[in-house]
Amino acid sequence: MTRVAALRVKRGDRVSVHGRRHEVKAVRAGRYASGDLMVTLVFKSGSPLRMSATALLTVDRDGRAVR
């Protein structure tokens, strides 16, 4: 698993959040009121997660590290 910016996460990736791994169902980009970029990750199970687009996440893509 590799740490990448939230903006690089794609549908089907497995993301480690709060010690649990979640499969990403959808990724939505947007902006905060301040103008900063944000990403909302929608998981196959569990609640969506909104974060800064530059936040680092641990990601696994098809059993391989993300580059």
Q: What is the CATH number of the domain that holds 32?
A: 2.30.30.30
Asked if residue 51 belongs to a domain, the reply is: yes
Q: For residue 4, give the 3-state DSSP assignment.
A: strand
What does each C-alpha distance from 61 to 16, 17, 34, 37, 67 come to in angstroms?
A: 12, 15, 32, 23, 10
Q: Tell me, yes or no, whether 36 lies in a domain.
A: yes
Q: pTM for the whole thing?
A: 0.88
pLDDT tens for each residue of 10-62: 999 999 998 899 999 999 999 999 999 999 999 999 899 999 999 999 999 88
Mean pLDDT of 1-16: 92
φ/ψ of residue 12, rounded to 5: 95, -15
Q: By residue range, what is the domain housing residue 50?
A: 2-57
Cβ-in-10-Å burial (0-12, 13-18, 19+) of 24 comes to: buried
